[in-house]
Structure 1
């Protein structure tokens, strides 16, 4: 919000400079760089107000993209805690948000040789000066953890990063090197600057309204955030017209349209099942035996179709922690909670062993107590398989005591701080009272 206030103060004098950075991510093996594994471009828009330099950064990447809400960030040179720009990289099947130490470097006082300071766990030291092209820069060395050493070249007349060499770790200690270089700069004409400022104000207002978790930048856009964005998208598209943000917002609009279409199709699927007797289906226990019919007869049954694989394990972990909380709450009631592992490898006994082993490691790690079964006989397809429509697992299906489908939901739920999966909790409680 601090940066938004500073941007608002610029309306009378929207002097804006545009910078372009080119970035590369390379993997390091045995101390040597291998091939470049990711390239990206960053467009930064700088303004100065009340002695502070403010930056709005738009990341442009073509593969392994982060959710669109994470591709724009705001920073101020007087606030070291602002969210840094980030790009996506998928390493060993897991998507990471790789943050870069640019375009601004916040420091407690103007840089000079020998200056040292700390910001949280990170330490910084100005070790010298160097020309980067025709730009005089301070050379700042930073350490943010074991073996995490970085070199930042900062323009001497302002806290703007000119070049960056940053160490990144992913997976189980796999090392990468991020290099970044400013390649272009221009002062925007007054009319263009005014349009750009207006676009930035609208973009930041929308991003703040989404209430994203700053510690989980790979998380998908939630249905709640999608609804919020839908309400603002037309005004946002009008505000960015003729600016460098136009293509970015057009991609947001396309994504929202795709999500709306997918939700309509899943809703039609939901209407097909809810209120009808559950289709015939068979689940297999991890030991290979079918789930006994008496485990389901006359009970409220919660089916949670998900991958149940330990790797790659990404938040929110299929919300299985919250499902386990729900199962524990109703464990003394006539309620059966079953996880249903969906995996193409279940088709053959040879590969099924690896799937079961992975499930056991996951449930041990997550300390879940409800039973996890195997979908060896296409139970997911019997319930319509919303992944065919582009929807993602988990799929949640609830059957009442008579075997009728009373709830059908694809994706994640909004979590209540006190009751976790509140919507399911209330539904099950109501069914038990009947």
Structure 2
């Protein structure tokens, strides 16, 4: 995962990753019965410059709902490859901290998932503003350039810079601070430069009844977002079983509140995604049921240090097989979970528990790219100080257990084998991390197995 500029906390260390929470406490609920909501719609583009007008890589829209100095956004990014719905909405504005989800895109460039923060939708213009006035907003240093107008709306041209050199040019409504137009520099890859543009296309007041429904809906959505506890660097749409249950519990209420409002499109997307995620969960559960208490076929792995690991040598031990790509670049989640897995390995190995990492990096199955794949896995193992063995085969072992990606799931895949070599646990995707207990669900599985010995 790579950040262009913070859209959540600017923290990327494994130990320092902060889960989003307390949003509702930090940003009080919008009062139902408040002033009518002003609905602004923005159109934007992510552009790769060329000799002409540039190549548009992504088009998107943003909704902004403003009332009583409170602002709520919804980013309508690419539904398949863009910002997942749980991270596409939230409170925004000059007083909202970076610990909250803020408007951003998700764009994949050269196998890296980039979180691209949008320019501020609302700017806190100083009182008695004059040209060359300066102030700070979030991590941006703002400078008023000159008075202007856009579509007969009095405005200020504002330049924004941050300490790493990125800059934005904003045209801001002089009356309310809402951005009318913006252009921002974006860098991805090895310093490749792109341009992001944003322009307000409409602004209309909503009917009082619609405003009341929206206020209640926004409160429900922010509460749900807090309950989900998504990672600060989340860029995939996959939800855990607990998160899916949390969404299902409020789905009907969201649908009722959203009916006839501009956020109905968001709630329809939530319901569609919920249906797909429930099907994925059912498919994984069915696969797990078939595998439980079965014996996998014998296997042999080529280890990163050049040795071999054969399944026969694991007999008599409780084994955790962890299927993941084990690449050092792009260094994206769930790489941090290997750190928790290493900790678990060191805590449990005296109980005859072992961990085996199985790299699914396609490079390791290619004669031309084999050296690159092994080098990448070694770098990751060194970076994470992994002492458990990591190996690979030709993909046969993953196929035998069932690749979750074939049923809309995601790696990693976690398999726990009993001491007599039978499958005791099958889990596809991330584990939710408990700050105090790490891989709590996996710890519970192991505890039950060891207790039953």
Q: Match of 2:108?
A: 90
Q: Match of 2:426?
A: 408
Structure 1 portions without partners, runs of 5+: none
Q: 1:261 aligns with which of 274, 279, 283?
A: 279
Q: Match of 2:91?
A: 74
Task: Please give the root-mean-square deviation of Cα atoms over the aligned residues, in Å.
Answer: 2.5
Q: CA offsets, 1:21-55, max 9 Å, x none?
A: 1111123579x9742221111121221x2xxx222
Q: CA deviation at 1:211?
A: 2.8
Give the structure, 1 or 2, with the largest relative contact order (CA under 8 Å, sep 6 or more): 2
Q: What is the CA–CA distance in structure 2 between the aligned matches of 1:348 and 1:59, rounded to whole Å?
A: 40
Q: 1:20 aligns with which of 21, 24, 41?
A: 41
Q: 2:77 aligns with which of 38, 57, 61?
A: 61
Q: What is the CA–CA distance in structure 1 between the aligned matches of 2:40 and 2:257, rounded to whole Å?
A: 21
Q: TM (normalized to structure 1)?
A: 0.90
Q: What is the CA–CA distance in structure 2 between the aligned matches of 1:75 and 1:16, rounded to whole Å?
A: 15
Q: What is the CA–CA distance in structure 2 between the aligned matches of 1:70 and 1:154, rounded to whole Å?
A: 25
Q: CA deviation at 1:331?
A: 3.6
Q: 1:212 aligns with which of 223, 230, 252?
A: 230
SS at match of 2:337: helix
Q: Match of 1:117?
A: 135
Report which stretch shifted further, 261-270 or 80-89. Answer: 80-89
Q: 1:134 aligns with which of 127, 152, 156?
A: 152
Kindly tell me the number of residue pairs found equivalent between the two proteins.
426
SS at match of 1:330: helix
Q: What is the CA–CA distance in structure 2 between the aligned matches of 1:330 and 1:316, rounded to whole Å?
A: 21
Q: What is the CA–CA distance in structure 1 between the aligned matches of 2:101 and 2:407, rounded to whole Å?
A: 34
Matches within 5 A, 1:6-405: 7-8=30-31, 11-28=32-49, 34-47=54-67, 49=68, 53-62=69-78, 64-79=81-96, 81=98, 83-106=101-124, 109=127, 111-119=129-137, 121-213=139-231, 215-223=232-240, 224-286=242-304, 290-293=308-311, 295-317=313-335, 319-376=337-394, 378-405=396-423
Q: CA offsets, 1:74-97, max 9 Å, x none?
A: 124544656431122111112222
Q: What is the CA–CA distance in structure 1 between the aligned matches of 2:86 and 2:403, rounded to whole Å?
A: 28
SS at match of 2:415: strand
Instruction: Find out whether 1:427 has 2:448 as its counterpart.
Output: no
Q: What is the CA–CA distance in structure 2 between the aligned matches of 1:390 and 1:79, rounded to whole Å?
A: 35
Q: TM (normalized to structure 2)?
A: 0.86
Report which stretch shifted further, 119-128 or 34-43. Answer: 119-128
Q: What is the CA–CA distance in structure 2 between the aligned matches of 1:401 and 1:110, rounded to whole Å?
A: 74
Q: CA offsets, 1:83-129, max 9 Å, x none?
A: 43112211111222211123211356464433222245421121211
**Quick check: 1:80–1:119 contact (8 Å CA) kept in 2?**
no
**Quick check: 1:66–1:217 contact (8 Å CA) kept in 2?**
no
Q: What is the CA–CA distance in structure 1 between the aligned matches of 2:336 and 2:164, rounded to whole Å?
A: 32
Question: Runs of 4+ in structure 1 displaced over 6 angstroms?
Answer: none
Q: CA deviation at 1:172?
A: 3.4
**Quick check: 2:342–2:388 contact (8 Å CA) kept in 1?**
yes
**Quick check: 2:365–2:393 contact (8 Å CA) kept in 1?**
no
Q: CA offsets, 1:210-254, max 9 Å, x none?
A: 2334x3242544312222111101111111011111122111111
Q: CA offsets, 1:252-276, max 9 Å, x none?
A: 1111111111111111111111122
Q: CA deviation at 1:392?
A: 0.9
Q: CA offsets, 1:313-343, max 9 Å, x none?
A: 2122272111111122234442221100113
